Amino acid sequence: MQKSETFHAPDALQRAQLNASFAPAVHGFAGPVQAAFTDATLMPSNAFGAGLKQSAFVATCSSAPGFELAQRADVNDGSPTGVFVTPLSIDPARSDHRSSSAEAYLTPVENERSNWVVLVGHTATTVLFAENESDGLRSAYAVRFAPTPADATTGPPSQEYIVYADHEIILSAGAIQSPALLQRSGVGPKSLLDALGIDVVVPLEGVGRNLQDQAATPLAAGSSVNDTGGTRVLDAIAFPDVDALFAFGALDGAANVSETIPGGIPGWAASQAAAGGGVSAEALEIVMRAQAHNILHDKAAILEMFFYEPAPDGLGMNAWGLLPFSRGNLSITSTNPFTPPAIRGAYLAVDIDLAVAVAGARAVRRLFQTPPLSEIVTSELVPGTAAVPDAGDGGSDADWSAWVRGAYISNDHPVGTAAMMRRELGGVVDARLRVYGTQNVRVVDSSVLPLQISAHLSATVYGVAEKAADLILEDMRAGVR
């Protein structure tokens, strides 16, 4: 994680206006991705209201009775429960321009390395495997690719090309396209491949299963504090653990959460496995119990409240459950590489995930009603009491559930579809990110994360990629192939 980052410590103005702080030991200072707090001098001179709104949010999360999240110094310290002013992937030398993966890793070297070629407008269609096995493992020798058509309904490619591999093949197409590419190449659930007439190279049941994404619920309120900054993301995020969330956001408090989660796992595992989210109920139960340990024992953050400004005279919070028990899946439906896979997102598919979403939404309403935030909130705009009535209890579970189911959006943080875990549990890659049953195919993207994380994905994936680079270099130096 540190290897990927050049962190810029907050200056005096950022400390004063944003309440920015950091812990030097958990940051890197020589990596390609720039990380910094918002440059306070770039805000419009009359945008003082943005800082006031953010300060009110942080203070309210810290002092709301029953919530009282600790205001922590650094969200990157490995225990992200509390309320934080967070750094962003931005470059202060470029007026807070986004420091993207492309600009951080590719741009500095793309014109300097003769052994690096980027093809835009092309699609990898198939990984090609040799017929013979080596030590029981299948060896990949090439990747077939083709120009990407403008029309996604186009038939199979009329012209394809092949690029050959001297050492290994690395898939980094993300949690949707990496498993789809494996399936098209004959690595995946045997029943799926047989149904499509694809020769089975490695029967690997976990490919495309264990899909986990987060259901996000945006809420908004009007504000008496006006500024001309417009819609923008600020720096404040609250991360409650399960006890804090249900104590503050649930009608009946957190008394039975420690029993509800372990008791619910057998039924959740059975229902999600039956729907294709896992290789078996027994395997998924083992994985879910590890997840429950993170939530109940390690007190991992279970919800994120992402504070932002929807308009100059408003404020908003996007709340989402971080660690869902719902499990989806994806499957190719055709050998045509341009046909998108069928995706079952499984958002809020088990009752605990809906309970977390409801508690999060009710908690946001209660924060809007709690000082000092309530002193600058004029009214709740989304959902508003017409959609979710409030009789003084923050709104009923039934009303909130109905609204959340109609209002949630995908958080676009998919993980788990080529998970790094034991093969019998539905794992797809081993501890060195090699695909089981293959000698020289690795996956390096968010699909290898077996469980969701109490964080955003980008910095985590940078860390995975940096570790993968070390593993690849180690194997090359050792002559492993």
Determine the Cα angle at 136 with ends 130 and 138, to 5°.
25
**DSSP secondary structure string, 33-91?**
EEEB---GGGS-TT-HHHHHHHHHHHHHHHHSTTT---B-S-TTSS---EEEE--BSEE
**CA distances from residue 429 to 228, 442, 457 in whole angstroms, order as listed:** 49, 7, 19
Token match 């994905």: residue?
457
CA dihedral angle for residue 29, residue 34, residue 40, residue 46, rounded to 10 degrees: 180
| Tokens (6 digits) for 236 | 């404040």
Burial class for 151, CB neighbours closer than 10 Å (0-12, 13-18, 19+): exposed
Q: Smallest Cα–Cα separation from 20: which of 51, 45, 49?
A: 51
Q: What gap in Å lies between CA 284 and CA 272, rounded to an integer?
A: 8
Catalytic-labelled residue, pool 97, 122, 167, 413: 413
The backbone torsions φ and ψ at residue 314, rounded to the nearest 5 degrees and listed phi first, read: -145, 175
328: which DSSP letter? B
Taking each helix axis from N to C end, the angle separating 351-368 and 397-407, rounded to the nearest 10 degrees, works out to 100
The backbone torsions φ and ψ at residue 103, rounded to the nearest 5 degrees and listed phi first, read: -70, -30
Q: What gap in Å lies between CA 227 and CA 215, rounded to an integer?
A: 30
Beta-carbon contacts of 164 under 8 Å, excluding residues fewer than 6 positions away, are: 141, 142
Q: What gap in Å lies between CA 242 and CA 302, rounded to an integer?
A: 6
What are 84's strand-pairing partners? 237
Cα-atom radius of gyration of the chain, to the nearest Å? Answer: 24
Q: What gap in Å lies between CA 125 and CA 156, rounded to an integer?
A: 10
State yes or no: is 456 an active-site residue.
Answer: yes
Q: Taking the CB of residue 2, how many other CB atoms lie within 10 A of it?
A: 15
Q: Classify the C-alpha dihedral 383-415-237-294 as positive or negative.
A: positive
Q: Smallest Cα–Cα separation from 91: which of 102, 75, 83?
A: 102
State yes or no: is 293 an active-site residue.
Answer: no
The upper half-sphere exposure of residue 303, i.e. CA atoms within 13 Å in the direction of its Cβ, equals 33
**What positions carry a catalytic annotation?**
413, 456
